Amino acid sequence: MNLNNFMKNILYLSVLITSFFSCISCEKLFEYSPYQINIKEGFHNLHDKNLVKLRGIEKHAPDTFTFAIIADNHTWYDEYREVIDHINSNPEILFVLHAGDLTDYGLLKEYEWQQQILSSLKMPYFITIGNHDLLSNGEGIFRKMYGETDYSFTFKNHKFICLNTNIQEVNRDPDFDFLHSELKGRESYSYVFVLAHVAPTALRFSDENESRYRTILAENNVNVSMHGHSNHFSLEEIYNDGVLYLTTSSVKHLEYSLITIRPDTIIIKNISVGK
């Protein structure tokens, strides 16, 4: 092969390669990058959108009402759909709380897959971030898709506080100042709930952090501290201080928790789908 023909072949190959990559969008080419935060249209600020829906429900909600808690769906998408369908079949459930670990690796595509399932809920939903959701660039995705990782809302004179307790992944203590601030004026609310993925009894909590968490909740008469992470249902007044600690089961087991609030009591049940 002479030099001219060689150069022509090189040029032709270069044109083919350039044409090939020009036909592929950057979004498709780097679809599984752990740093991608190109959130789909309609998947932004979902907590704000759900809060609007919740306010509409609140106007006509009775004093006795029910909400559900799910957690740890990770990669169990079929089970996730079954649990969501089961919740949708119960007209008494007014809203849903997710106790974290929507994803396994915190990737954008995982967030999108699980959100497509979660968006089939007939009622509003609110999420606390899990330790798996913080992997890769998960925290940035969560903030754009849902909102802040520490936040609160009210419903029918009850308060719900969502707190990021994933100490190892964020390399910092939970924002106890935020928690303490949100509990000011506790006497204005009938019941107060805290939703945090990792419970204070987990090994990743230092003794100091466990003590701070339990003390803040006990001193402010929090009724229930709700968690995921350990994947199995448990309900116990761990510290004998009046605060109930609920861990909801994993979606993997086709289970979730149901909480009914009455003016004089709180009823908590573990629900097994299909039973």
Q: pLDDT over 90 for what percent of the chain?
A: 82
Do 251 and 123 share a structural domain?
yes
Do 146 and 11 share a structural domain?
no
Q: pLDDT over 70 for what percent of the chain?
A: 87
**What pLDDT is stored for residue 9 in this prediction?**
53
Helix, strand, coil shares of the chain, percent, nearest 5, are 35, 20, 40
The tens digit of pLDDT for each residue in 62-82 reads: 999 999 999 999 999 999 999
**What pLDDT is stored for residue 19 in this prediction?**
45
Do 151 and 17 share a structural domain?
no
The tens digit of pLDDT for each residue in 131-184 reads: 999 999 999 999 999 999 999 999 999 999 999 999 989 999 999 999 999 999
Contact (CB, 8 A) for 98 and 133: no
Total domain count, the chain:
2
For the entire predicted model, the pTM comes to: 0.87
Do 56 and 17 share a structural domain?
no
The CA distance from 269 to 179, in Å, is 26
Region 182-192 average pLDDT: 97
Expressed as residue numbers, the domain containing 13 is 1-30
Element (H, E) at 234: strand 234-236
Do 75 and 50 share a structural domain?
yes
Do 44 and 25 share a structural domain?
no
Do 214 and 115 share a structural domain?
yes
Provide the token pair at 245: 């600690």
Report the CATH number that the domain containing residue 67 is assigned in CATH: 3.60.21.10
**What pLDDT is stored for residue 60 in this prediction?**
96
- Predicted confidence (pLDDT) at residue 11 exceeds the cutoff of 50: no
Q: Which DSSP state fits 186? A: G
**What pLDDT is stored for residue 37 in this prediction?**
72
Do 76 and 8 share a structural domain?
no
Question: Which residue do the tokens 């090994």 mark?
Answer: 203
The CA distance from 236 to 247, in Å, is 9
Do 249 and 203 share a structural domain?
yes
- HEC assignment per residue over 54-107: HHHHHCCCCCCEEEEEECCCCCCHHHHHHHHHHHHCCCCEEEEEECCCCCCCCC
